[in-house]
């Protein structure tokens, strides 16, 4: 089949037609905007700072600082492997579509389970990002004296943020693209501002041996190796969501190059910016014990290091980045739901697949994403470790979905028909490293995170993962295996071209 690569809308639409889909979404995103969505979803200002307190308890500075590049390099292998598959199949379905096309046998089953794990991971990412934003916003309002810091108030803010993100997503992809472009600069300049202030303003800093070598354990476990392994969650949770570029390819110009480049660039830029941010924040610690025990440790570090006034300014920067991240996460999540429903894989698929004819956005899928995220974050009301579990769920769900098409790509070997962006002879070693790493983190993040293990400290991530896997498996055995055939072809390329031309005429007239 011919591959598009010149970036023209017509070439993108022809390639989409060859893959079996009509051009239902508005294709208005540039390559930079596509990259911006992934960079925003990864969001080092969100992930690094949201789990920084967790990192202070599970290994401390030595794991925070050195765990980041280790996880970052391994994550880059995963992103590279996914990127070359994205180039071959630039569709909103992304991972589950790739699995169907790459499997030699049982294509529908591979696609089904990939899609459900992706769905779980996307919902968990949205929940964890917006709950983290609510936590930081609550801290900011608490410092200002406007709103008491409590779990109940955080949940209220969490619901309000999700509602706003759902409403903003209804306005169309044009608005989201502009906000995504702003978000890129907000993140880059925000990191530089925070690190610059924390490096220059405080009267004293901890020693280099502390920043790069201090180990801390406040988990209750005696094994330093086990605690150090848990500490990798900070970096791995942050470095997720870069598949957003793949899910936005049906809305991106030059998708078979822009999509894979967006994924890889997002990881590379985040790797560099995140490491600078983590070193800068650790270098500003004033009272480790008190700050590690604070409701929002980074907020306490800001205030202790630079004073309440400047600390609030830095919190505004962080909270703004988290709100951008949550907005982009809802967008990506809704595209996953839209694509999966387009192929009949969700209960009520016809309803969730509907496109708003005015905005050309999947409105119903947007609100399913919002509702699912709220339900997943709600247990924080009665379980103090719920947020850590949600972050684990996001890592496990997404990375299982990431590794399935990567594994199938390896099995495909030379039979894989490459797109214009590919790894060449490095495809196999990079893919093997990616699969091995995902197997490690999937096991690691279902383990207990605090000792002793009680109902209050239990990591319910394996329960949620097993519940979704059990539901998808039971649904498959009882019903779906009889009717789900994988991605549905909506027509021949000629029929789809005619359909899109007719739709364009109707849109112009209206």
Whether the Cβ atoms of residue 344 and residue 489 lie closer than 8 Å to each other: no
CB 65 within 8 A of CB 400: no
What is the mean pLDDT of each successive set of 10 residues along the chain, which is 510 residues long?
A: 46 85 81 88 88 92 96 95 94 87 91 89 88 89 79 90 92 72 90 95 94 92 90 88 88 91 95 96 95 91 93 93 91 86 84 82 91 87 70 80 93 90 93 94 80 72 79 88 80 67 49
* Nearest one of 80, 112, 90 to 99, comparing CA atoms: 112
Residues 403, 3: Cα–Cα separation, whole Å: 25
How far apart, in whole angstroms, are the C-alpha atoms of residue 45 and residue 273? 9
**What confidence score (pLDDT) does residue 366 get?**
93
Asked whether the beta carbons of 233 and 51 are under 8 A apart, the reply is yes
Contact 444, 230 (CB under 8 A): yes
- CA separation for the pair 157, 162 (Å, rounded): 9
pLDDT value of residue 296 = 87
| 452 prior amide bond cis, ω within 30 | yes
What's the pLDDT score for residue 173?
A: 60
| Gyration radius from the chain CA atoms | 22
pLDDT reported for residue 508: 45
Three-state DSSP at 58 gives strand
| CB 96 within 8 Å of CB 115 | yes
Count CB neighbours of 455 within 10 A. 8
Coil, strand or helix: which one is 159? helix
Token pair, residue 407, equals 């594994």
Is the separation of the CB atoms in 118 and 401 below 8 Å? yes
Q: What pLDDT was estimated at residue 491? A: 65
- Give CA 75 to chain center in angstroms: 13
**CB of 201 closer than 8 Å to CB of 280:** no
Question: What would the two tokens of residue 416 be?
Answer: 């894989």
pLDDT of res. 58: 92
Please report the DSSP string for 372-399 in residue order. Answer: HHHHHHGGGGT-TTHHHHHHHHHHHHHH
Question: Cα torsion at 226, 66, 426, 238 (round to 10°)?
Answer: 80
């Amino acid at each position: 089949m011919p591959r598009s690569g010149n970036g023209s809308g017509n070439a993108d639409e022809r390639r989409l037609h060859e893959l079996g889909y009509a051009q239902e979404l508005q294709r208005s995103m540039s390559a930079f905007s596509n990259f911006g969505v992934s960079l925003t979803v990864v969001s080092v200002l969100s992930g690094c700072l949201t789990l920084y307190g967790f990192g202070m308890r599970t290994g401390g500075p030595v794991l925070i600082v050195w765990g980041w590049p280790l996880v970052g390099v391994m994550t880059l292998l995963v992103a590279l492997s996914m990127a070359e598959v994205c180039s071959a199949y630039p569709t909103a379905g992304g991972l589950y579509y790739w699995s169907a096309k790459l499997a030699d046998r049982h294509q529908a089953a591979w696609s089904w389970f990939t899609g459900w794990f992706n769905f779980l991971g996307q919902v968990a990412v949205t929940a964890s990002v917006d709950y983290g934003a609510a936590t930081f916003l609550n801290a900011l309002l608490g410092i200002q004296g406007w709103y008491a810091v409590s779990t109940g108030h955080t949940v209220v803010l969490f619901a309000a943020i999700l509602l706003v993100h759902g409403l903003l997503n209804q306005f169309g992809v044009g608005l989201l693209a502009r906000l995504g472009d702003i978000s890129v600069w907000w993140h880059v300049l925000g990191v530089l501002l925070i690190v610059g202030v924390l490096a220059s303003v405080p009267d004293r800093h901890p020693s280099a041996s502390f920043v790069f070598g201090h180990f801390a354990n406040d988990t209750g476990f005696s094994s330093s190796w086990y605690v150090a392994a848990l500490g990798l969650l900070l970096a791995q949770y942050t470095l997720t969501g870069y598949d957003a570029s793949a899910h936005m390819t049906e809305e991106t110009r030059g998708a078979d190059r822009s999509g894979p480049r967006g994924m890889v660039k997002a990881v590379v830029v985040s790797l560099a910016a995140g490491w600078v941010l983590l070193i800068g924040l650790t270098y500003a610690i004033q009272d480790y014990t008190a700050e590690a025990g604070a409701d929002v440790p980074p907020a306490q570090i800001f205030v202790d290091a630079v004073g309440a006034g400047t600390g609030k300014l830095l919190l505004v920067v962080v909270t703004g980045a988290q709100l951008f991240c949550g907005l982009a996460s809802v967008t990506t999540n809704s595209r996953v739901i839209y694509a999966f429903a387009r192929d009949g894989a969700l209960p009520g698929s016809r309803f969730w697949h509907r496109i708003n004819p005015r905005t050309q956005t999947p409105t119903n899928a947007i609100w399913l994403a919002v509702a699912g995220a709220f339900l997943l974050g709600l247990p924080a009301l009665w379980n103090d470790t719920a947020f850590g579990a949600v972050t684990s769920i996001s890592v496990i769900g997404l990375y299982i979905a990431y590794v399935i098409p990567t594994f199938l790509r390896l099995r495909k070997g030379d039979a894989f028909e490459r797109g214009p962006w590919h790894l060449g002879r490095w495809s196999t070693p990079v893919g093997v490293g990616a699969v091995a790493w995902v197997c490690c983190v999937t096991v690691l993040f279902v383990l207990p995170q605090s000792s002793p293990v009680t109902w209050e400290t239990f990591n319910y991530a394996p329960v949620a993962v097993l519940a979704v896997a059990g539901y998808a498996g039971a649904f498959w055995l009882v019903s779906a295996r009889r009717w789900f055939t994988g991605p549905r072809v909506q027509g021949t390329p000629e029929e789809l071209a005619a359909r899109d031309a007719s739709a364009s005429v109707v849109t112009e007239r209206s």
